[in-house]
Amino acid sequence: MKKTVKFAFILLSLIGVYCMFWGCSNNKADKQDQLETLQGAYTARLGVAPLAPPSISQYKTPQKVIVNLLVTEKQMQLANGVQYTFWTFNGTVPGPMIRVHQGDEVEVHLSNSPNSTMPHNIDFHAATGPGGGAEASATAPGHTSVFGFRALKPGLFIYHCAMAPVGMHIANGMYGLILVEPKEGLPKVDKEFYMVQGEVYTDGKFGDTGLQHFNLQKALDEKPDYVVFNGSVGALMGDNAFHAKVGETVRIFFGNAGPSLTSSFHVIGEIFDRVYLEGGQMINRDVQTTLVPVGGAVITEFTCKVPGYYSIVDHSIFRAFNKGAIGQLEITGAENKDIYSGKIKDEPYIETQSK
Amino acid sequence: MKTAIIFLTSLFMVTALNAQPHKKRPLSGRPPDMVYVPAGLYRPFMQQGDKSGRVQLQAFYMDDHAVTNQEFLAFIKANPKWAKSKIPGLLADQNYLEQWSGDYQIGNPAICNSPVTNVCWYAAAAYAKWRGKSLPTLDQWEYALSFPPVGLPKNRSVTRYILDWYSNPTPEHLAAVKTGYQNDLGIYDLVGSIWEWVDDFNSVVESGDSRSQGSLEKSLFCAAGSQSAIDKSDYASFMRFAFRNSLKAKYTVRNLGFRCVKNIN
Ligand SMILES: [Cu+2]
């Protein structure tokens, strides 16, 4: 008994010493946060959903990356025959995907169209500073604000408008993703896609045609009639589906703008090889469904093995089939019956007698 | 629905408060095109005033319509230093009166009777002074808006009306004044057509410096909460406060105009 106590004591002290060292090395890491000097500047190539922007291949040192965003308020299709006045970054929902590297300085030029009714701003979850830039970027119609932030941490981050009333600006379409790649970059894959989930609160029910207005009460109740990927019902269906070939690796940059509902992100018929949990540095493997909080994102990767149509859904399944949170991936190529046989037989079922 | 109830309740309260004895509407001395706004208590959107959150306002006159391009042209003709080509960059940004074809020409008959927009705060204040008036304070403006609307369908609150206004695209030409929203005092278009300057739109006017870090500003941004707002579901008010807060006195905006008030001694 005494021996056990002694052993436990030694073990505990060892853990203590280890923790001290770990703490030390962690402090060192923090000190290494000292910013590297920027070498050069370039204007970011932005990705228009569902395409992610390419990574810059010759990345060596942190640079200044200029990001130009123009806010416009415009009517767009929410579903077949349904119009809605979206508030947008660069005229699309979601806004463009931005791709920088850890250590880069992001210089944002946020313009608000003279035709806008509202002031707008932008809050980058990738930024460290008050409001993620919201205060610095508040912009009246017909003006441009410039502010900058250092991309200190790698990961996939949401950005969104944070002008009061925030929920309305988000529900109206003002959001997108910024990827801060680690210095060494993300591993190469064959295909990269960009999608963001968002809710739209309309006066009419799902499918009621015509111009729909924002419904404040449904928003306060957190009961949207539309939960959509990339701004409209069907934005990733049919002709707009993602495409990949058997044997290719696919990476999906997925964000959840909300403003209210947590997403259970799932690709029906696939298992994610890797999931960068919450868009951060922890990788989980062999995942069926990953939870994406509002104002959060995730990177998922998988390998295409069997051809066919795969549905991409929020597995809160009524949202997928009744509110629009569904997209498609079409995989083409040779069948692989060893992995998936397809239907082999269909025959009458005969009840065995149990009398 | 809840919002509507809250809103109607607050309307009722204001109305009830107004029903308290106040100076009778003076029959003479009312300037033309102005409306008598009786003294009363009002509950500001942002917490201030006494413990009840109410502010006492004296009676005043308010323009029954926003200043039009035509009216503003008369001011420019009498005060050429405010003309497009003459106004210093310090006082107005480059879109000042961009809808006009020249210093002393509107150039578009369709907008003569529409509210003048793309005017900076300085020019608006100068116009008011020239007319022997002033810009309304934020409290005066919001108090005027708190009077009940005329002719809105019963199930359509003012908040609702405003939200719908925002979700329609800005028209190419603004409608003529006195064709839209009207309240029971006879004041037109406080909402539904343009935003309007108020005298104390934010603290930048006083400091002339960079954006203030006041509680108002904090309450308008994400994560800072909105604790000072009394009715947190009054999105229309949030939007007006956010809009005002995004302005500087030299800014001009395509959907921002103004009207004047005259205080009664
Ligand atoms: Cu916005």
Give the C-alpha separation, A144 to A128, whole Å: 21
Same domain, A266 and A299: yes
Instruction: Report the DSSP beta bridge partners of residue B105.
Output: none
Q: What is the pLDDT of residue B121?
A: 96
Percent of chain B predicted with pLDDT > 70: 75
Same domain, A81 and A159: yes
Q: What is the pLDDT of residue B29?
A: 79
Whether B6 contacts chain A with CB within 8 A = no
Q: Is A266 annotated as a binding residue?
A: no
Same domain, A166 and A233: no
Least Cα separation, residue B31 to chain A (angstroms): 32
Same domain, A198 and A157: no
pTM here is: 0.83
Give the C-alpha separation, B40 to A253, whole Å: 56
Same domain, A241 and A152: no
Q: The complex's ipTM?
A: 0.77
In a domain, A338, yes or no: no
**The domain spanning residue A292 has which CATH number?**
2.60.40.420
Q: Is the pLDDT of residue B127 over 90?
A: yes
In chain A, the number of structural domains is: 2
Angle (CA) B40-B45-B49 rounded to 5° is 55
Q: Give me ligand 1 centre to Cα A139, in Å.
A: 9
Q: Give me ligand 1 centre to Cα A110, in Å.
A: 11
Give the C-alpha separation, A94 to A99, whole Å: 15
Q: Is the pLDDT of residue B215 over 70?
A: no
- Exposed/middle/buried for residue A40 (C-beta within 10 Å: 0-12, 13-18, 19+): exposed
Question: Which of A137, A155, A184 is a domain's end point?
Answer: A184
Q: Give the gyration radius of chain A's Cα atoms.
A: 24
In a domain, A243, yes or no: yes
Domain membership of residue A178 as a residue range: 41-184
Whether B2 contacts chain A with CB within 8 A = yes
Q: Confidence band (pLDDT; 50, 70, 90) for B223?
A: very low
Q: Find out whether the peptide bond into A348 is cis, omega within 30 degrees of 0.
A: no
Average pLDDT, chain B: 80
In a domain, A19, yes or no: no
Instruction: Report the DSSP beta bridge partners of residue B183.
Output: B149
| Closest residue on chain A to B226 (Cα) | A164
Same domain, A177 and A45: yes
- Cβ contact A306:A256 at 8 Å: no
Q: How is chain B split into domains, by residue range? A: 2-263
Same domain, A255 and A127: no
Give the C-alpha separation, A110 to A66, whole Å: 11
Q: Is the pLDDT of residue B149 over 70?
A: yes
Same domain, A200 and A137: no
In a domain, A157, yes or no: yes
Q: Which two tokens stand for residue A190?
A: 């064959």
Give the C-alpha separation, A121 to B148, whole Å: 33
Q: Give me ligand 1 centre to Cα A73, in Å.
A: 9
In a domain, A355, yes or no: no
Give the C-alpha separation, A142 to B196, whole Å: 16
Instruction: Report the DSSP beta bridge partners of residue A11.
Output: none
Looking only at the bridges linking them, the beta strands covering A123-124 and B34-37 are unpaired
Looking at CATH, the fold of the domain delimited by B2-263 is given as paralog of FGE (formylglycine-generating enzyme) (3.90.1580)
Q: Is A3 helix (H, G, I), strand (E, B) or coil?
A: helix
Same domain, A163 and A199: no
In a domain, A180, yes or no: yes
Least Cα separation, residue B159 to chain A (angstroms): 9
In a domain, A54, yes or no: yes
Instruction: Report the DSSP beta bridge partners of residue A98.
Output: A178
Low-confidence ranges of chain A (pLDDT < 70): 1-33, 354-355
In a domain, A168, yes or no: yes
Least Cα separation, residue B62 to chain A (angstroms): 24
